[in-house]
Amino acid sequence: MTTEVGSEAEVKKEAEKLEPDTAKEKPEEASESLENQKTEETEETQDSSSSPVPTSQSSPTSRKERDPSEGKGISRFLPPWLKKQKSYSIAEPKDEAKKKAEGDEHVEECERQLPEEVAELKGEAAAENHQTKTDDKEEEKHSVSSAETQPAKEDSKEIEVEKVTEEPEEKLEEETGKRETKEVQTTEIKMEKAPQKAPKKIKTVQCKVMLLDGTEYSCDLEKRAKGQVLFDRVCEHLNLLEKDYFGLLFYENSDQKNWLDSSKEIKRQIRNFPWLFTFHVKFYPPDPSQLTEDITRYFLCLQLRQDIVSGRLPCSFVTHALLGSYTLQAELGDYDPEEHNSDYISEFQFAPNQTKEMEDKVVELHKTHRGLTPAQADSQFLENAKRLSMYGVDLHHAKDSEGVDIMLGVCANGLLIYKDRLRINRFAWPKILKISYKRSNFYIKVRPAELEQFESTIGFKLPNHRAAKRLWKVCVEHHTFFRLISPEQPAKGKFLTLGSKFRYSGRTQAQTRQASNLIDRPAPYFERTSSKRISRSLDGAPVGITDQSLLRDLSATAAGPTGDEAAVLAKLKNGESREEDGSPIKSPPLELTQDGKNNSLKVDGENIYVRHSNLMLEDLDKTQDDLLKHQASISELKRSFMESTPEPRPNEWEKRRITPLSLQTQGKVGPRAEGPCSGARDADKSSHETLSVVEEKKRAEVGIEETVVINEINEGKIQVAIDGGEPCKVEQLSKKDSSSTSSESSSSSESEDEEVGEYQPYHRVTEDVIREEKEGNEDAKEVEGYTAKVVQCVESVIEGSKEKVSIGHAQVAEESLVEGNAVSGTPEEKSFTEEAKQDLREEREEEQLKINGDLSHIGIDVKPQIICCSEPPVVKTEMVTISDATQRTEISTKEVPIVQTETKTITYESPQLDGSAGGDAGVLLSAQTITSESVSTTTTTHITKTVKGGVSETRIEKRIVITGDADIDHDQALAQAIKEAKEQHPDMSVTRVVVHKETELAEEDEG
Amino acid sequence: RQGAAHHAVVRALPESVCQQALRVEKGGAVDFARAEREHQLYVGVLRHKLGLQVLELPADESLPDCVFVEDAAVVCEETALLTRPGAPSRRKEVTEAMKIALESLNLNVVEMTDENATLDGGDVLFTGREFFVGLSKRTNQRGAEILADTFKDYAVSTVPVHDSLHLKSFCSMAGPNLIAIGSSEGAQKALKTMQQMSDHRYDKLTIPDDAAANCLYLNIPNKGHVLLHRAPEEYPESAKVFEKLKDHMLIPIANIELQKVDGALTCCCILINKTSEL
């Protein structure tokens, strides 16, 4: 594993060089990030010159570049020897999985992990996002940042480079790759640098994909190909550029549909041959008029026609008729009395139960569409279809806590709960703090409602564990796609994780919109002849469920991958649709449990702090308790806003929905009224996605379900096994499970079979935040208040034998911009990764947007005052357990785990900040983050410039983390930090200081 | 278009309304003559001032509540759902006369035959985008389900209603995307529920008096937004709130007598807006 460092660093450099270059191509968009980047670079140079590290070009680079690879999480607090450990720990589960899947080659797999996969990748250049474990972070980070800045255009550059080195047979693949995001390209670059290996004998497998028009596409794929390869081929075949809305489905047990994960090998996902897939819309765009190309809309239409005919998308009679008439217009053109005799319509199916009356109505309406081009007819179709209440809602059968049958519907806006046809609850994404599953249970943790103090966790029972996981994944993907600017990093860097690390890895809607704005090609020609083609394909070809006529004729006999829909159809034939399972009427009280965890926290700042910690905990690891994570990382702060964010605001598309339809023209490009982001601002915002969060410790948990973890416990030097506190509801459950069903507890590391998974939807879309604030309700103000209080902090953390003091966020405000301060020492502690930087910058920015109403207060020089002090070292937390919906026995208990950690938080701040909530937001000019590091100190400096009411304000926030093995004089360190801050910015004032100290007691855990 | 209408169905009030109409709580006796005058004024506004084609059904003395036609049918676009009123004494209101009237307007009439279902039109709030159905003493889940099956294009969310007769006893649409909501705790709670359940964001108009929050909004060609609301003599504070709606043509309507038997402004008509040609 260590051998890869060299090549990695090299690659990294390469990527680095590339980035500014490519960024130049789109200066306006990239300017901000470029600026930041430059500053960072300068900073790094300065930094290294001031530290004992040699300033030669390569050495610092490689060090710095390697650091990020370790992730922004725990790892930076780890001594190097442990880091190595970490990379193994990550590799292991994967190997484990492989072993399971293949039943052999364990050792070989381990060894070839890096080089061979790389070689393989070369063969399938389009496979995005494939990285070896240790460097994946940096890769991703780069891909993110570059994707931000140059969404699509720069591709040609990379392609050229590749053509030099790649084998000719791969050209085709690369062509596909052209449309990929930067992610792919960085990978490719890396691969070039990676040691070349002679291609192995390639085994191929035939794949068949049912397309939306009822035809079948088949191709041979290398056995080890990733989902992305196939998906790209299909999209290429379809000539589809805006492909992020689509996906490939495969069926499990003929009725469970699963999305093919692009980032994983196909053979690990689909167990049986032949490989049969269905091309399907995965994310229904809430406003199809925002799609760039007509061809994309056409495929969406085909999907919707299928959805309608199968009954998945219920409509009224009139809507059936209207949509049907647009279908006719699109496929046949204007009504022609001569050509379109009475039965021209009979080859179409418009509804599950089509009547003569309906057909007459369709014809009648068809006549009124004279003059509409096919593209316009499709647009009209979509304008009407998108208003249907079940449009884009992915339904899952479940039971509530009382065992009542319900349906969970995942859509762009959140999670909908249906009982029969009725909507009985709805959880918009901003309301959901965490999504998790545990075996066959699915949980959502929601924000406290108004006037409520505690979050509640709501549990649902799915038919089985795979269904629960499927639902969870769909939720994660929908949230990411529709709510985030760019995807989150998968939590691969975690030291100890259990459960699924699954994250959505594709582009988000924001990214795909941005990318499609750059589509510059003549509108591709395509034929809208689905119905005819379908009828032809009836003679024998194993056609999927696709088209109307097919469905009509074949619904009873649909087989293979279409089983699911056939079943639905069969039901429909009986005049029932899926939702009408007709169970007794009973208002199902959803299970609500409240977390009692915050009860004991009375002090203002403290409270907030802990809340952050909780969040962070839940987020990064499932096995820790509240107190271990008292690092007030900015992301936590950010989350605290989010936590107190009021009711969800209307989404962009909601608003757009109201706006009249503008008929789409062929191949339209150029900026539209953009969604959550556009242009340069996007680029700047994109890093919101990173999961961020400074995690200072890793923990092990007793009874975790992955063997790897147990190994880790054996090897790890500083973990303390800890019983989960509040955020560990699920973990507590897992313990129970592991004691009761031990067979499951030891070996479930196979990737597709995780028992648990968690995901926390962070609502980082800045615009949302802004919008929310503008609405100006009390919640928002409250939020501001919080922020103001917690923004700045100086923290100290002592961990195990190491000790960390972090002094951060010594905030200063004035018209000066200062570079970060470096505390001298020997370089040992890891710096923030660049990701973290980005992240912080972003967060900072967001914060700024939230709170810059306060800035006017900040300029006043006030001596820090202590407003809150330490919390008890041992916190009792109450555990909440969700009862299983089917077994009516409550298994919830109250456990009071004792935390083997001492934490202490002291906050100093200017009193001004308190009253400073409110005020209007200024305009953010720039935000940047600078990180410097030395021996045991990491300093992160955030500089944000805003203009409010003509006055420009600069806010600097420093976060210093000191880690040490020996005792550190914290007071002195703090004093030093404050002094330095004051010296560096004499004309600014320190407004807030937070010290956080964390001491880990020992490993004497009984676990 | 929310509030668009060209037809209205109303029904004359029988004298039995004074003695036999259902009421939530005992109150003063209904002055029939005055009630009739108020109703005629109301119908006159619809017919003459707003130019709607008003179909007036004759009173039926055996149906004391028959003037409240809203409860008998839910009409949305070209579909009319004949309800199964929660009060057994009112079930006959739905039969013959009403059905014929609606069919005569070329509406696609759906009947609620399920004997387990109850639904009063007064519990159905159609916002133009979706339905909210109050689950009250008069309306149950099954009734709401049938409504959802009838109007498949729209989301149908249920809202528990505890303290009032109907969901629309304290709210109504007062404009496109604008919900008039009463100030009582129950009303506010219901509004929260509706907000939570909806993907859409509605504006709200908070009306001091719950009863006044039931107003009748119409969108009439050449007249624009029209709002029939309770007269200032009845609810001075609430009327002031309505007067802030600058874009609306405001028509104060007194409804003193029928209110004694739980009648509100929306109760006395069914608005029909067939997008005709469809």
Residue B215: active-site member: no
User: Of B144, B152, B155, which is closest to A316 when you measure between CB atoms?
Assistant: B152
Indicate the SS3 state at residue A324. helix
pLDDT confidence band for B52 (50 / 70 / 90):
very high
Rounded average pLDDT over A607-635? 29
Rounded average pLDDT over A757-774? 46
Chain B residues in contact with A650 by the CB 8 A cut-off are 200-201
B176 touches chain A (CB under 8 A): no
Chain A residues in contact with B178 by the CB 8 A cut-off are none
Looking at B76, B215, B267, B268, which residue is catalytic? B267
Chain A residues in contact with B158 by the CB 8 A cut-off are 422-424, 587
Q: How far is CA B178 from CA A703, B4, B127, B206, in A?
A: 54, 14, 8, 10
In this structure, how many other beta carbons lie within 10 angstroms of the beta carbon of residue A919? 17
Query: pLDDT (tens digit, 9 = 90+) per residue, A573-597?
Result: 343 333 333 333 333 333 333 333 3
Residue of A nearest to B150 (CA): A316
Which pLDDT value is given to residue A524?
A: 79
CATH number of the domain where residue B244 is located: 3.75.10.10
Please give the Cα distance from A643 to A615 (Å, whole number).
9
A426–B152 C-beta distance less than 8 A: no
To test the contact with chain B by mutation, choose from A313, A418, A456, A585 the residue with the greatest count of B C-beta atoms within 10 A, namely A585
Chain A residues in contact with B129 by the CB 8 A cut-off are 387
B153–A388 C-beta distance less than 8 A: yes
A576 touches chain B (CB under 8 A): no
DSSP state string for A534-563: HHHHTSS----S-SHHHHHHHTTT--GGGH
* Rounded CA Rg of chain A: 28
Residue count of chain B, please give it: 278
B198–A426 C-beta distance less than 8 A: yes
Query: pLDDT (tens digit, 9 = 90+) per residue, A787-804?
Result: 333 333 333 333 333 333
A649 touches chain B (CB under 8 A): yes
Most confident of A61-70, A818-827, A886-895: A61-70
A425–B201 C-beta distance less than 8 A: no
B201–A654 C-beta distance less than 8 A: yes
pLDDT confidence band for A343 (50 / 70 / 90):
confident
Please give the Cα distance from B152 to A47 (Å, whole number).
65
Pull the structure tokens for residue B76: 């949305």
Chain A residues in contact with B141 by the CB 8 A cut-off are 419, 422, 585-587
B278 in any annotated domain? no
User: Of B141, B153, B278, which is closest to A422 when you measure between CB atoms?
Assistant: B141
CA-CA-CA-CA torsion sign (A291, A295, A296, A298): positive
Residue A608 pLDDT greater than 70, yes or no: no
Please give the Cα distance from A882 to B81 (Å, whole number).
41
Lowest mean pLDDT among A321-325, A600-604, A646-650, A667-671: A600-604
Looking at B39, B66, B76, B166, which residue is catalytic? B166
B174 in any annotated domain? yes
User: Are A90 and A97 in contact, with CB atoms under 8 Å apart?
Assistant: no
Residue A361 pLDDT greater than 80, yes or no: yes
Residue with tokens 């689909």: A270
Residue count of chain A, please give it: 1007
B157–A422 C-beta distance less than 8 A: yes
B152–A315 C-beta distance less than 8 A: yes
Which pLDDT value is given to residue A160?
A: 37
- The runs of H, that is alpha helices, within A317-414 are 317-332, 356-368, 374-385
CA distance B51 to chain A (A): 27
A315–B153 C-beta distance less than 8 A: yes
In this structure, how many other beta carbons lie within 10 angstroms of the beta carbon of residue B123? 33
pLDDT confidence band for A395 (50 / 70 / 90):
very high
Which pLDDT value is given to residue A817?
A: 32
B2 in any annotated domain? no
User: Of A322, A361, A424, which is closest to B158 when you measure between CB atoms?
Assistant: A424
B265 in any annotated domain? yes
Most confident of A117-121, A702-706, A763-767, B181-185: B181-185
B145–A422 C-beta distance less than 8 A: yes
Please give the Cα distance from A23 to A29 (Å, whole number).
8
Chain A residues in contact with B196 by the CB 8 A cut-off are 425-426, 647
Residue with tokens 């290294």: A48
Rounded average pLDDT over A277-306? 93
pLDDT confidence band for A475 (50 / 70 / 90):
very high
Could you tell me the pTM of the whole model? 0.56
Please report, in angstroms and rounded to a whole number, the separation of the first and last CA atoms in chain B: 15
Residue A60 pLDDT greater than 80, yes or no: no
Strand segments (E) across A562-626: 593-594
Return the exposure string of A541-558: e unless at least 16 CB atoms fall within 10 Å of the residue's CB, then b: eebbbbbbbbbbebbeeb
User: Of B78, B156, B195, which is closest to A423 when you measure between CB atoms?
Assistant: B156
Interface of B with A in 14-43 (CB under 8 A): none
Please give the Cα distance from A311 to A306 (Å, whole number).
8
How do beta strands A216-222 and A204-210 pair? antiparallel
Pull the structure tokens for residue A401: 């806590």
Query: pLDDT (tens digit, 9 = 90+) per residue, A678-725?
Result: 333 333 333 332 222 222 233 333 322 222 222 333 333 333 333 333
In this structure, how many other beta carbons lie within 10 angstroms of the beta carbon of residue B230? 26
Return the exposure string of A99-138: e unless at least 16 CB atoms fall within 10 Å of the residue's CB, then b: bbbeeeeeeebbeebbbebbbbbbbbbbbbbbbbbbbbbb
User: Of A321, A368, A389, which is closest to B130 when you measure between CB atoms?
Assistant: A389
* Rounded CA Rg of chain B: 17
Residue A230 pLDDT greater than 50, yes or no: yes
To test the contact with chain A by mutation, choose from B152, B189, B192, B195 the residue with the greatest count of A C-beta atoms within 10 A, namely B152
Residue B222 pLDDT greater than 60, yes or no: yes
Which residues are CB-contacts of A355 (< 8 A; sequence separation ≥ 6)? none
CA distance B269 to chain A (A): 24
B116–A422 C-beta distance less than 8 A: no
Reported ipTM: 0.92
B176 in any annotated domain? yes
User: Of A317, A413, A585, which is closest to B108 when you measure between CB atoms?
Assistant: A317
User: Of B133, B141, B152, which is closest to A587 when you measure between CB atoms?
Assistant: B141
Residue B48: active-site member: no
Sheet containing strand B53-57, strands side by side: B53-57, B7-11, B270-272
Residue A415 pLDDT greater than 90, yes or no: yes
Query: pLDDT (tens digit, 9 = 90+) per residue, B131-189?
Result: 999 999 999 999 999 999 999 999 999 999 998 999 999 999 999 999 999 999 999 99
Write the DSSP symbol of residue B121.
G
Q: What are phi and psi of A692, to 5 degrees?
A: 50, -150
Which pLDDT value is given to residue B22?
A: 86
pLDDT confidence band for A389 (50 / 70 / 90):
very high
B200 touches chain A (CB under 8 A): yes
User: Are A395 and A460 in contact, with CB atoms under 8 Å apart?
Assistant: no
Chain A residues in contact with B130 by the CB 8 A cut-off are 389
Sheet containing strand B73-76, strands side by side: B73-76, B79-82, B108-111
User: Are A231 and A260 in contact, with CB atoms under 8 Å apart?
Assistant: yes
Please give the Cα distance from A989 to A427 (Å, whole number).
43
Residue B241 pLDDT greater than 90, yes or no: yes
Residue A193 pLDDT greater than 50, yes or no: no
Query: pLDDT (tens digit, 9 = 90+) per residue, A938-979?
Result: 666 666 666 655 556 666 666 766 665 555 566 666 677 777
Residue with tokens 């596909």: A176
B145–A585 C-beta distance less than 8 A: yes
Chain A residues in contact with B108 by the CB 8 A cut-off are 317
DSSP state string for A436-461: EEETTEEEEEEPPPTT--S-EEEEEE
CA distance B200 to chain A (A): 7
- Does B138 show up as a binding residue in the annotation? yes
B77 touches chain A (CB under 8 A): yes
Query: Using H for helix, E for strand and C for coil, what is the string for A8-48?
Result: HHHHHHHHHHHHHHHHHHCHHHHHHHHHHHHHHHHHHHHHH
A322 touches chain B (CB under 8 A): yes
Which pLDDT value is given to residue A711?
A: 30
Rounded average pLDDT over A65-83? 43
User: How many residue contacts between A and B have a Cβ separation below 8 Å?
Assistant: 81
Residue of A nearest to B193 (CA): A425
Residue of A nearest to B196 (CA): A426
Please give the Cα distance from A160 to B39 (Å, whole number).
81
Residue A809 pLDDT greater than 80, yes or no: no
Please give the Cα distance from A922 to A858 (Å, whole number).
14
A6 touches chain B (CB under 8 A): no
Chain B residues in contact with A413 by the CB 8 A cut-off are 199
A581 touches chain B (CB under 8 A): no
**Number of independent structural domains in chain B:** 1
B195–A317 C-beta distance less than 8 A: no
CA-CA-CA-CA torsion sign (A217, A219, A223, A229): negative
To test the contact with chain A by mutation, choose from B110, B132, B149, B153 the residue with the greatest count of A C-beta atoms within 10 A, namely B153
Average pLDDT across chain A, whole number? 56
Indicate the SS3 state at residue A926. strand
Q: Determine the structural domain holding residue B36 and report its residue range.
A: 7-272
Chain B residues in contact with A321 by the CB 8 A cut-off are 278
Q: How far is CA B26 from CA A469, A721, A891, B20, B262, in A?
A: 56, 68, 49, 12, 10
CA distance A230 to chain B (A): 35
